Structure 1
Amino acid sequence: MFLKFILLSLGLMLPGMAAAAELNAANTAWVLTSTALVLFMTLPGLSLFYGGLVRSKNVLSVLMQCFAITCVVSLLWLAGVYSVIFADGGAWQPFLGGLSKVFLAGVDTASLTGDIPETVYFMFQMTFAIITPALIVGAFAERMKFSAMLWFSTLWLLIVYVPICHWIWGGGWLAQLGAMDFAGGIVIHVNAGVAALVSALVLGNRKGFPNTAMPPHNMTMVVTGAGMLWVGWYGFNAGSALTADGKAGMTMLVTHIGAASGALTWMFIEWQRFGKPSVLGIVTGMVAGLGTITPASGFVGPLGGLVIGVVAGVVCFYATQYVKRSLKIDDSLDVFPVHGIGGITGSLLTGVFAASQLGGMGLKEGVSILDQVGVQALAVVVTIVWSALFSYLILKGLDGWMGLRVSPDEEVQGLDQVLHEETGYLDL
C-alpha cells in the first residue's frame, strides 16, 4: 500500500512523464478546429478567391477544379499517400516512408500521434495536401482541360508532393539536416509556385494575352475568398503547432502581423506607382504576406513577422510586375510570384529571424544564422529542381497522351459551357 502511494505521488509530481502517452483533450480540440479551418481555406476560400479573379465565362470551371481536387486528394491520402509520407520507411526513411498505414491499417480510435488521435493528425495533414495542387490551378486557369487537370493533380501529388513532404515533415533527409519549415513555405508554397510557373510555360499564354485586358469578373467574390483565406490561415499556421499553448498563440500572432504588413506594403507601393490603391492589390499583398510568413511562423517573434510581411509586400509586388510585364508569362492568377517567390523569401528569412537575438524562438545549439540560412537555401533549391523537373515531365507526358489545352474556339467560348455545360450566371 505504501509503495502504491509513493508511485502515485511520483506520477502527480511528474505529470509530463505520467501523461506522455495519453490523449490531450485541449490539443485535440485545437487541431480538430484547425483542420476545419484549413479545409475552409480551399472550400470555399481559395475557390471564391480564384473564381472571382477569372472571367465570368470560366468561374464554374475554377470552382469545379478546386472541388474535384479536394475529393481526389482525400481518397489518395487514404489509399496510401499518408502512409508513404508519415509511416516508418525503415532503411528508406531518409527518402520515403513505408506502407504500414495504407488505408490506415492498424489505426483505430485509440491510436495517437503525439498526444492527439492519429485520425485527427491524418485529417489535418490531408488538408495541406489538398490545398497544394489546388493552388496550382491559378496558373493554368481558363485554358486547361478538366481531364488533364485531374491527371496532372493526381500524378503531381504522387511524384512531387509526396517525396518533398516526407523529406521535410516525415523525418526525411532534409529534416535530418535541420531544414525549418513550420507550416509549408517550402513543402507547399515553393513547391506549388514552381509547378505553377512550369505549367504556365508549358501550356502557353491565354488567347489574347498580354494585349487583351482580362480583369477579375467579380471583386466582391475575390475579397470574400481572401477574407476566408486570412481566417483559415490561422489553422494553417497556428494549427501546425499541434498544441493549444503559447507557441500556437505566438504563431497566430505573427501570422496576422505578416498578413497585415504585407497587405499595407503592397497597397502603398501600388498607390505611389499608379496613383490609387486597389482592392485587388491589398488582398494580393495579404496573401503574399501569409505565404511568406508561413515557413517562419512557429519560429519567429513579432519583429520577424513584421519585417517578413513588409519584405513580402515589396518582393512579391515587383515579382508579379516582372513576370507579367517583362517576361510576359501568363501565370493567370500570379501563383508563382506570390506563392513561389513568397515561399522562397520566407524560407530564407526563417533562418535569420528564428535567431533568439532577433526575437525568434532560437536556432539549434551550435547553429549560426549563416549555417541555418545555408540549410534553408539547400531545401529551397532541392524543392525548385524536383518540382520543376517532374512538373515538366508530367505535363509533357499528358500533353502527348491527351492534350492539355482546350481548342482556341473553346477557350473563347469559355470553359463553363464547353466542359461542364453550365454557366455561373443566369444572364449569360
Structure 2
Amino acid sequence: MHPVNPPARLLMGPGPIDADPRVLRALATPLVGQYDPWMTETMNQTQELYRRVFGTRNEATVLVDGTSRAGIEAALVSLLAPGDSVLVPVFGRFGHLLAEIAGRAGATVHTIETEWGQVFPTSVIEDAIVRVRPKLLAVVQGDTSTTMNQPLDELGAICERHGVLFYTDVTASVGGNPLEVDAWGIDAVSAGLQKCLGGPSGSAPLSLSPRAVAVLDTRRSVEAGIREPGDDVSEHPIQSNYLDLAMIIDYWGPRRLNHHTEAASMLYAANECARILLEEGRDAVVERHALAGRAMLEGVRGLGLTVFGDVSHKMHNVVAVEIPDEVHGDAVRSAMLEDHGIEIGTSFGPLHGRVWRIGTMGYNARKDTVVTTLSALEQSLRRGGKSVPQGGGVDAALDVYAGLSAELDAQLDGAVPA
C-alpha cells in the first residue's frame, strides 16, 4: 500500500487538466453541516455564480453531485419519459453518448451523423427536426473527441418555432468558448469542472429554463399521485431517484427538501471555479483560451504537423494533430509523459491512433504551458524518428503571443482604435 502522492504532471490532453491551486485549497476547506446557515447561503451563492457563468437568469440552476456524465444523465432521464422522441446530431463520440443515455431512459432515439471533423449546418438540424418532430433536441456543444464546436446560437429559435426542448452538454466548452444560455434559447444545459473551469471532476453544474421545469412538474404530479398518466407519454414518473432533477431542485430551493447529503467539498470547488472565472471576466477567459488555442495550433503547424478537422469550427481549447507516419503515436505520448511529465491524449473510434489531442484549457491555458508542451513535443518527435524544424513550434507560438502584445502596445499608443 502506498500513500496518495501522485507524480508531478502537466495535463495538456483533452481533460482533465491541472486544477487551479485556489480550487485545490477550496477542496481542503473544513466541512459544515448541510443545513447550517453558512452552507445554505454558500449553495445560494453558487447558484448565482453559475447563472452568470452560463449567461442565464434561470432559477433552476443547481449542482448535480457526480461527474459531468451525472449531469447529462440527470437532464435526459428527467426530461425524457419512455416513448418520448429525441433527436441527437452526432459529430463525435459524445453525441453517441447522448444517444445511448436517452435510449436507456426509454426514449425513441433518432440520430443524424456527419463526418468526424465537421459540424452540422443549422439547416440540416432544422430539416431533421421537421422530419422527426422530437420532444427534445440533444446536442453536444464542444466534442473533444473531434475537437469540433457545434454552433448553437440559432438552434434555440428553431426549437421554439417547432415546439422542441433544447438541451446541450457544454462540459468541454463552457468557459473556453462563447455560451449564452438565455440569448440562445437553451432550455437545459449541463457541464463539468474538469476542463475550462479549471477544477476536478465530480460536480456537474446544470441549469433548466422555466419551460424545462414545467416538464418536471408534470412528471412530479404523476409520481405524487395527483394525476394519472394520460395519453401524453411524458406523463410518467422520473425513473431515477438520485438523478431526479425535480427532487434536486427542491433540495436546492427555498424549502430545502432533503434529497441527499450535499458533497460539500465539491460544492466548495465548484464555487471557487466559478468565482475565479467571473473575477477574470467571462469574455476575458474565452479570449485567453482563444489565444492559447491559436498559439498551440500555430505551434504544431510550426513543427510541420497537420491539424485534423475543420479548423474554422475548432474548439478554442483543444487541437487534434494528425500523427506523422514516421513515428508511433503511443510511443511519442509515452515519451512526453515519461521524459517530460506532460500528458497529451489520443482519440476514440475512427480517430484512435490517427491523432493526438492537445488541450489548452482552464488553469493550463497559459503561454508557459503552451511553450513547454511544444518544446517537449519537438524533442519527442525527433527522438521518435521524425525530422522537425528546430524551435519551429515554440517560435510560432511565441509569434502569436508577440502579435497580441504588439497589438496591445499599438492600442495604448493610440495607433489602433481600442
> Which range, TM-score by smaller chain?
under 0.3
TM-score, reference length from structure 2: 0.26
Q: Whose helix proportion is higher, 1 or 2?
A: 1
TM-score, reference length from structure 1: 0.25
Q: Whose strand proportion is higher, 1 or 2?
A: 2
